[in-house]
């Protein structure tokens, strides 16, 4: 039933900001040739990126080829953990529970809990890259560029989505 999969898409990014800037320092015209060539003409640039996290499914078990069976939401329970911090604890696993008659059979109506598709959000992304560069004229047709790039200058960690399975495994009944 497609109605069970209504929700945010896997690549839904609600807020995304990317900005860049380039500043060219003055060429210092009227100064000595040595001053112009060493101090003048430098460029500084930066790229700033930030975005909200991607949607995540809460599932009974998770994994690359996991069985995509959704649990139920426990009424009144807080989904976000009280001491939420990435990557250790970001959501309250106690806010989700298996259907009382859950038998582990994929496609069984008891495997379709009340948790919506991609109802959680993964960690946000933040990065600032900066560059400094200068062109040196060697001949009338040849120049050389000195460039220094620093990626993620604040060394800010950007985490991947977490494991949102509420069980480490599901025992299937023997035939």
Nearest partner of 121 among 84, 148, 153, judged by Cα: 84
Q: Which two tokens stand for residue 19?
A: 């900005």
Quick check: helix, strand or coil at residue 83? strand
User: CB atoms < 10 A from the CB of 166, how many?
Assistant: 21
pLDDT digits over 157-173, tens only? Answer: 998 887 777 775 555 55
CA pair distance 165, 58, nearest whole angstrom: 6
pTM strictly above 0.85: no
pLDDT digits over 12-27, tens only? Answer: 899 999 999 999 988 7
pLDDT digits over 59-74, tens only? Answer: 876 555 555 678 888 8
CA distances in angstroms from 148 to 50, 137, 156, listed in the order given: 23, 18, 20
């Amino acid at each position: 039933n497609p109605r069970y999969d209504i929700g945010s898409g896997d690549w839904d990014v609600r807020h995304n900001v990317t900005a860049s800037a380039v500043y060219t320092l003055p060429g210092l015209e009227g100064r000595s040739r040595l001053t112009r060539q060493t101090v003048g003409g430098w460029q500084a640039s930066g790229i700033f990126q930030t975005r909200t996290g991607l949607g995540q499914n809460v599932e009974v078990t998770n994994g690359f080829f996991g069985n995509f069976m959704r649990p139920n939401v426990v009424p009144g329970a807080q989904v976000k953990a009280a001491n939420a911090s990435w990557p250790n604890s970001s959501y309250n696993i106690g806010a989700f529970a298996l259907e009382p008659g859950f038998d582990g059979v994929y496609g069984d109506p008891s495997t379709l809990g009340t948790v919506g598709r991609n109802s959680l959000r993964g960690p946000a992304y933040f990065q600032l890259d900066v560059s400094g560069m200068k062109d040196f004229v060697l001949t009338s047709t040849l120049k050389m560029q000195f460039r220094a790039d620093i990626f993620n200058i604040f060394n800010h960690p950007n985490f991947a989505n977490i494991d949102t399975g509420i069980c480490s495994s599901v025992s299937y009944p023997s035939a």
